[in-house]
Amino acid sequence: MESVAERPGFSGYFSSGLGHRGPYPTKRSTESELIVKKFLAIIAATALLLTGCSQVGAAATVGDTKITQATVQGSIDSILAERAKVDTTQMQLETGESLNRSQLRFHLLSKLLRALGEELKIEVTKAEIDTRRASIIEQVGGTTSLPNALVSAGIAPADLDVYIEAISFSDKISQALIAAGVTQDQVGPELQKLVVAKSKELGVTVNPRYGKWNAETADIQAADSASSAVTPSGN
């Protein structure tokens, strides 16, 4: 995030507000310094609100819904803890800012798909989630193989049902598009258009510490492209 000090015009304001005309600070100049410092603090706070989330403690907001930093960090901490329990030497795992961003993306898209499903009168029931969870566990080779599969997929155990709900909404919306005449090869692009439109309708903000929100693709981009690497992990 651009700092206040890096903004055009700031240096001029700074020098005009604090410039001493003699070798020693006077009482008046000291009072001026305090006033300027308070003013700069207000500018900095305002800049943070304008460039990040409008709700304190939010990693992102989707309309009136807040995704807290604690929620995202909980997913990250759980994933890292699970990695320590399995052999990850043959896996390519996200780390650092890339992992932070992917977990926020997961929570954001889950909420957008749910909102889109609600708009289209599509429902995903608990029974459907339970059935699909059982199917996934069977596909990966049983409950003993599930931790390894979740680590590889970058999904925290506590987020599995959220993931299942999201992909279930995605599948049902895709089926609705096909029923409406969309060809199979256009389902993906059309689904993305719907998600983008929903994100613009609700309004999405992302805390700058996680990256930048791209409203045209409904995705979080790295503030610095160099920080988005996926690295082999034995950590």
Q: Which of 23-27, 91-95, 133-137, 147-151 has the lowest mean pLDDT?
A: 23-27
Beta carbons within 10 angstroms of residue 27's beta carbon: 7
Short-list 137, 157, 133, 146, CA closest to 80: 157
The residues with which 62 forms a beta bridge, in sequence order, are 65, 204
CA angle 95, 99, 103 (to 5 degrees): 160
State what percent of residues in the chain have pLDDT above 90.
70
CB 51 within 8 A of CB 208: yes
CA angle 13, 19, 25 (to 5 degrees): 140
Above 50 in pLDDT, residue 180? yes
Taking each continuous run of H as one helix and of E as one strand, the counts in the chain are: 8, 7
pLDDT tens digits, one per residue of 190-214: 999 999 999 999 999 999 999 999 9
pLDDT tens digits, one per residue of 158-169: 999 999 999 999
d(C-alpha 132, C-alpha 154), whole Å: 18
* Beta-sheet strand order (sheet of 65-68): 65-68, 58-62, 204-206
Q: What is the topology classification, in CATH, of domain 58-232?
A: Triger factor/SurA peptide-binding fold (1.10.4030)
**Tokens, residue 174:** 């895709």
**Which residues are within 8 A (CB) of 64 and not within 5 positions of it... i.e. 6 or more apart?**
none
pLDDT tens digits, one per residue of 11-29: 222 222 323 333 334 444 4
Beta carbons within 10 angstroms of residue 169's beta carbon: 23
Task: Give pLDDT, residue 57.
Answer: 86
Task: Give pLDDT, residue 56.
Answer: 62
* Domain residue ranges in the chain: 4-51, 58-232
- Compute the Cα dihedral for 162, 113, 106, 230 and give only its sign: positive
Residues 105-118: what's their mean pLDDT?
A: 96
What band does 55 get if pLDDT is binned at 50, 70 and 90?
low
d(C-alpha 81, C-alpha 99), whole Å: 14
> In the predicted model, what is the mean pLDDT of the chain?
79
Interstrand relation of 230-232 and 212-214 (parallel, antiparallel or unpaired): unpaired
**Tokens, residue 44:** 């900095």
DSSP 31-57: HHHHHHHHHHHHHHHHHHHHHS-SSTT
